[in-house]
A and B are shown apart, each in its own frame.
Chain A
């Protein structure tokens, strides 16, 4: 038969638990897939948008820088073209000294200014205002060369580290008729206060930080102090991904500042770009929990709507198993789902079962009645046998005896022998009828169940039976016989038959020996009666316990052939077994087992 199998785990859960679990896991998987997919596309979009924004911010700022540098350059160019400056340089610093100094002062456009100088064509400083010592350690030749100036042009070159500061020069060539007379240089600091940078960062947003440095990567600042750049030095302009000191993913957009050899960069962390994403994940989790809770509640209600009718079916099935067929499953007429159909099928089944049950009951009743009739007929039959068969037999016997008594003188020896045979046979038939009746009566007799003292029974039976025999001829040993449970009268019959047989079949031996004993066997006790008499051939052993079956002739040993059949029937009625072992002319042992007391 096929059984409805389930996995080990699911099989332990009721349907009421299984459905919510299933729905909960399905929802979880859906939400997870939806969440991850959206997370990644959102992240990608966020990053793209963030980069665009970064680029435009950087470009905007760079534009402001370019405007400032353009202003610086036009200012510087204008100073370098002043006649007093030209005069001053031409004269080797001897003429127009005051006017030139006045022009030089015009280079002090803002607070980042630190030093302004006028150099002659040999790069010798002829005049200066501000901190003189800044330029003292620098190779001015290199400074001017790096500017790569065209005649009458101005340029900001690169940053130079001076102590803990970074300065850049604004250089203009002073010339007359294509002849280089000298240079004006204004040194400006790129650094400002951390407060100013922080304020600016806040203005720009995105947790931005700023960098400025030489294109060759030789010096970088964060506008507060020189720093070793977190990204690879010597970077080309463009977007660069890198990790900061704390391992955060950062993006910097580097752009060249116009009119300079400088790069400007705005850096933001990726986390800042993905700010929305965190909120998205939070929402997904909250919405997910809400959906799952709703899903579980819905599933629970659904499975309850399934299991409630099932519970009723179970209740009903239990009632049916207890023989109550009066109930049916209440069905909503419009319930067309599987449950409704099951309930319907169930009701039909109840009807069928109830019908079959009644049919069966009727049939059993009918059969019982038939059996009772047969039984009664049988009883009447055995009554007739008992009464009617014995009556003519008694007459045969009686008249034979009368013949013998009243006409003894007139009968010769043959006549007397014949009369004797008639009497003996009539007696024999009477015995047969009695035995047969006892046997048939046994089957309808009710057992009484009580403790039977088998020891006492054996001793009594032996004593009774020996009354009719030469008692001193027999040696009968009775072992220890445990008590049994059963019908004492029937047990006595068993003992009488077996011991009687043992006496009968050993009676022709010189020293008849009979042993009555018992052995222990698991939950039963095996009793036995053993003799050293005529025994029997084991080949015919199966015939021993049949009715009217005999292994010895009537001449050798008298008997009706009912005794052992009766023993067998009694023992089987007591849930026991009988069997025998024997050998011709070497004795027999009859065993019977009975449940332990």
Chain B
């Protein structure tokens, strides 16, 4: 896959959650141009075309970022903070997807300017539905605004 034509950036450390997310998106044909990174550091590298993603055209921003909160190295909140405080990346829609129902996380995320916040349900059908709906919604919105 060409790193320059990514539409969805999935940031998720748990391979099972990632698999299920990708499966759900694939079902609605949204997984074609998706890249999965394992933690916040990689996500930032990808967005700002650094590290292993050096050489990527930084102006090709993903259409939506699905971001887990609890991750090794750099967590989701930190990623969100950096994205939203940078003029170049501020407009990329970010959907926080987490197991946590911690209110503090939700409040922090919205304060930082998150676009959506989804609590991953245990129930797979619910999870799949949420993921696919969000994916569609943000991709369409983002395309319209482009």
- B19, B20, B102, B123: which contacts A383 (Cβ < 8 A)? B102
SS of A interface (majority) = helix
Whether B70 pairs with A394 at a CB distance below 8 angstroms is no
Whether A394 pairs with B99 at a CB distance below 8 angstroms is yes
Rounded to whole Å, the gap between the CB of A421 and the closest CB of chain B is 15
Whether B101 pairs with A426 at a CB distance below 8 angstroms is no
> Known contacts A429-B122, A430-B123; is A394 also within 8 Å of B17 by CB?
yes
- CA–CA, A426 to B123, complex, Å? 8
CB-contacts of A475-520 with B (<8 A): none
Whether B16 pairs with A386 at a CB distance below 8 angstroms is no
CB-contacts of B118-136 with A (<8 A): 120-125, 127
Whether A434 pairs with B99 at a CB distance below 8 angstroms is no
- Any chain A CB within 8 A of the CB of B14? yes
- Any chain A CB within 8 A of the CB of B116? no
Whether B101 pairs with A386 at a CB distance below 8 angstroms is yes
| A residues less than 8 Å from B122 (CB atoms) | 390, 393-394, 397, 426-427, 429-431, 433
Interface flags for A363-399 (1: CB within 8 Å of B; 0: not) read 0000000000000000000010011101111110111
Whether A386 pairs with B127 at a CB distance below 8 angstroms is no
- CA–CA, A503 to B109, complex, Å? 37
- CA–CA, A391 to B120, complex, Å? 9
Whether A390 pairs with B16 at a CB distance below 8 angstroms is no
Interface flags for B89-131 (1: CB within 8 Å of A; 0: not) read 0000000001111110000000000000000111111010000
- Any chain A CB within 8 A of the CB of B23? yes
- Any chain B CB within 8 A of the CB of A437? yes
CB-contacts of A393-416 with B (<8 A): 393-395, 397-402
- CA–CA, A391 to B20, complex, Å? 12
Category for how many chain B residues contact A: 20 to 34
Whether A386 pairs with B17 at a CB distance below 8 angstroms is no
| A residues less than 8 Å from B124 (CB atoms) | 394, 397-398, 400-402, 423
| B residues less than 8 Å from A400 (CB atoms) | 124
| A residues less than 8 Å from B101 (CB atoms) | 386, 434, 437
Whether A401 pairs with B125 at a CB distance below 8 angstroms is yes
Number of A-B contacts (CB under 8 A): 61
Whether B23 pairs with A387 at a CB distance below 8 angstroms is no
| A residues less than 8 Å from B17 (CB atoms) | 391, 394-395
Category for how many chain A residues contact B: 20 to 34
Whether B127 pairs with A394 at a CB distance below 8 angstroms is yes
- CA–CA, A437 to B100, complex, Å? 10
Minimum CB distance partner of B123 in chain A: A427
Rounded to whole Å, the gap between the CB of B77 and the closest CB of chain A is 13
> Known contacts A386-B101, A387-B99; is A397 also within 8 Å of B123 by CB?
yes
Whether A402 pairs with B16 at a CB distance below 8 angstroms is no
Rounded to whole Å, the gap between the CB of A379 and the closest CB of chain B is 8
Whether B123 pairs with A390 at a CB distance below 8 angstroms is no
| B residues less than 8 Å from A401 (CB atoms) | 124-125
Whether B16 pairs with A387 at a CB distance below 8 angstroms is no
Whether A398 pairs with B100 at a CB distance below 8 angstroms is no
Rounded to whole Å, the gap between the CB of B60 and the closest CB of chain A is 31
| A residues less than 8 Å from B98 (CB atoms) | 387
CB-contacts of A402-454 with B (<8 A): 402, 423, 426-427, 429-431, 433-434, 437, 441
> Known contacts A401-B125, A402-B23; is A394 also within 8 Å of B120 by CB?
yes
Minimum CB distance partner of B16 in chain A: A395
Whether B20 pairs with A387 at a CB distance below 8 angstroms is no
- CA–CA, A106 to B4, complex, Å? 186
Rounded to whole Å, the gap between the CB of B105 and the closest CB of chain A is 9
| B residues less than 8 Å from A431 (CB atoms) | 122
| B residues less than 8 Å from A392 (CB atoms) | 16
| A residues less than 8 Å from B20 (CB atoms) | 394-395, 398, 402
Interface flags for B78-96 (1: CB within 8 Å of A; 0: not) read 0000000000000000000
- CA–CA, A580 to B98, complex, Å? 39
> Known contacts A391-B14, A394-B16; is A386 also within 8 Å of B125 by CB?
no
Of B98, B100, B123, B127, the most chain A CB neighbours within 10 A belong to: B123
- B23, B99, B123: which contacts A391 (Cβ < 8 A)? B99
- CA–CA, A574 to B20, complex, Å? 43
Minimum CB distance partner of A429 in chain B: B122
> Known contacts A391-B14, A394-B20, A402-B23; is A386 also within 8 Å of B99 by CB?
yes
Minimum CB distance partner of B23 in chain A: A402
Minimum CB distance partner of A428 in chain B: B122
| B residues less than 8 Å from A398 (CB atoms) | 16, 19-20, 124, 127
- CA–CA, A444 to B120, complex, Å? 24
- CA–CA, A426 to B127, complex, Å? 14
Whether A399 pairs with B16 at a CB distance below 8 angstroms is yes
Minimum CB distance partner of A427 in chain B: B123
Rounded to whole Å, the gap between the CB of B71 and the closest CB of chain A is 11
Rounded to whole Å, the gap between the CB of A5 and the closest CB of chain B is 60
| B residues less than 8 Å from A386 (CB atoms) | 99-102
Rounded to whole Å, the gap between the CB of B18 and the closest CB of chain A is 11
| A residues less than 8 Å from B16 (CB atoms) | 391-392, 394-395, 398-399
CB-contacts of B10-57 with A (<8 A): 14, 16-17, 19-20, 23
Rounded to whole Å, the gap between the CB of A197 and the closest CB of chain B is 126
Of A394, A397, A398, A441, the most chain B CB neighbours within 10 A belong to: A398
- CA–CA, A199 to B64, complex, Å? 147
| A residues less than 8 Å from B99 (CB atoms) | 386-388, 390-391, 394
Rounded to whole Å, the gap between the CB of B30 and the closest CB of chain A is 18
- CA–CA, A438 to B16, complex, Å? 26
- CA–CA, A388 to B16, complex, Å? 13
Rounded to whole Å, the gap between the CB of B139 and the closest CB of chain A is 23
Of B17, B99, B124, the most chain A CB neighbours within 10 A belong to: B124
| B residues less than 8 Å from A437 (CB atoms) | 101
| B residues less than 8 Å from A426 (CB atoms) | 122
Rounded to whole Å, the gap between the CB of A376 and the closest CB of chain B is 12
| A residues less than 8 Å from B100 (CB atoms) | 383, 386-387
| B residues less than 8 Å from A390 (CB atoms) | 99, 120, 122
Chain A interface residues toward B at CB < 8 A: 383, 386-388, 390-395, 397-402, 423, 426-427, 429-431, 433-434, 437, 441
Would you list 5 pairs from A and B whose C-beta atoms are within 8 A, ordered by A residue? Answer: A386-B101, A390-B122, A394-B16, A395-B17, A398-B16
Known: A392-B16, A398-B20. 18 other contacts (CB 8 A): A383-B100, A386-B99, A387-B98, A388-B99, A390-B120, A391-B17, A394-B17, A394-B99, A394-B120, A394-B121, A394-B124, A395-B20, A398-B124, A398-B127, A423-B124, A427-B123, A430-B123, A441-B103
Rank and list the top 5 A-B pairs by shortest CB-CB distance, nearest first: A430-B122, A395-B16, A401-B124, A387-B99, A390-B99
